[in-house]
A = this chain, B = another copy of it.
């Protein structure tokens, strides 16, 4: 049962860069990570890009005395890369794989092969039900011409949906991970505005780390200046977010972020920096009225902000829809070309048979080698076109689904705004749907 004593909770999050054969010094870094985690003994450890099962099992073994409970989320071809280690018993888990996640033919980027997703674990912390989420969104390879932006926006949309719909009844919500979006980017704003989660960097009482809370920094020897582009010092794309409930208030006492190479070692833990947040849980009486209720104007302002966010998000998703349509058309054209070539070849083969009074074999005017090559080319073209058509049809359905959903959400918000206009008292909220309950960034869910 919950007591009224405040409870400290230490949360660690790191993108481990654990790609087999590709990530530099992987094994050495895993040993360093295991040592650090067992030494620092955080309550909850959220890891991303822990692709290798071997690495997970190594960490599980290393942390067997400090973190009894763990879960590795499996998905996609090479895995989701998401893992949780915890000092508290994991009671239940749930997992949502994002509906879009890059392209299989962009092999050099490789995001598609990892089934990017969000994983949730439930645990009881001093009698409080905590829902803890770990996630990793599609990487941004070129900020100026970011072809993955629609996918990342849809992922952020699905992330907020998953958190919102599965965190009802939670006393405490914690989200950690590599969002691959800057704090002011659309994806990050969508997640925060819709879930009401608070950013440990913005809210911390004490901070230790690089300026502006950067988590991908120029100082890190695995990071090249080219990767950071115009952001010379680095970027902030890794987060620990949190929120409480009527039963418990949460504050961030301190946040520390590593700054490249670890003390006593020539190499850092990863290409990303590790976040370590010290939260303080302050159990409250759920029946006591806490703070001032939000005024109607504040709430209306928040609804209007959500409508604007949705408009922005739908614009991006529409860009994605056009792109997918274009690619599907291209696949269809390639398929048509394959069919045309095949017909041409059949016509060529039929020529000798159509010339009367001649032996077909003797008068075949086309070299057999070219003939076979052409046939093989047709087959490959058709196969490739079919695969691309299938893939982009699926992508199109997923993007349109997100757009449909955003349209419904916008209509729901506008309805609420309309309902508010004639009666500017907070009473009107009673008949509102769940979107309203979830809308406010400081509202607490029960």
| A residues with CB within 8 A of B | 1, 71-79, 89-97, 99, 104, 113, 115, 120, 122, 124, 127, 129, 161-162, 165-166, 168-169, 367-369, 371-373, 375-376, 379-380, 383, 387, 390, 393-394, 397-398, 400-401, 404-405, 408-409, 412, 415, 430-431, 433-435, 446
Contacts and interface: CB of A to CB of B under 8 A. Distances in A.
Nearest to A169: B168
Contacts of A115: 394, 397
Contact of A77 (B89, B96, B394): B394
A74 B169 contact: no
A161 B165 CA distance: 12
Contact of A368 (B93, B113, B368): B368
A18 B89 CA distance: 47
Nearest to A96: B96
A445 to B, nearest CB: 8
B97 A129 contact: no
Nearest to A391: B77
A97 B431 CA distance: 31
A73 B371 CA distance: 47
Given A77-B394, A380-B380, A401-B75, A92 B387 contact: no
Nearest to A375: B376
Contacts of A398: 74-75
A433 B37 CA distance: 26
Contact of A97 (B73, B99, B122, B169): B99
A387 B75 CA distance: 17
A73 B400 CA distance: 10
B369 A408 contact: no
A104 B75 CA distance: 18
B400 A129 contact: no
Copies of this chain present:
2
B401 A95 contact: yes
A386 to B, nearest CB: 10
A205 to B, nearest CB: 32
A372 B372 CA distance: 6
User: Most chain-B Cβ atoms within 10 A of its Cβ — which of A124, A371, A397?
Assistant: A397
A371 to B, nearest CB: 7
A93 B379 contact: no
A370 to B, nearest CB: 8
Nearest to A166: B165
A80 to B, nearest CB: 8
A410 to B, nearest CB: 12
A72 B372 CA distance: 47
B168 A73 contact: no
A75 B92 contact: no
A356 B387 CA distance: 46
Given A74-B400, A75-B99, A94-B162, 11 more contacts: A90-B408, A91-B433, A93-B405, A95-B405, A97-B99, A124-B431, A165-B165, A165-B166, A169-B446, A372-B373, A376-B379
B166 A412 contact: no
Contact of A369 (B122, B372, B390, B400): B372
A168 B173 CA distance: 15
A372 B383 contact: no
Nearest to A99: B97
Nearest to A396: B74
A74 B373 contact: no
B124 A433 contact: yes
Contacts of A99: 75, 97
B376 A92 contact: no
A37 to B, nearest CB: 21
Contacts of A383: 380, 383
Contacts of A415: 89
Contacts of A390: 77, 104, 113
A397 B76 contact: yes
Given A75-B99, A369-B368, A92 B401 contact: no
A156 to B, nearest CB: 15
Residue of A122, A375, A415, A434 ringed by the most chain B CB atoms within 10 A: A434
B168 A77 contact: no
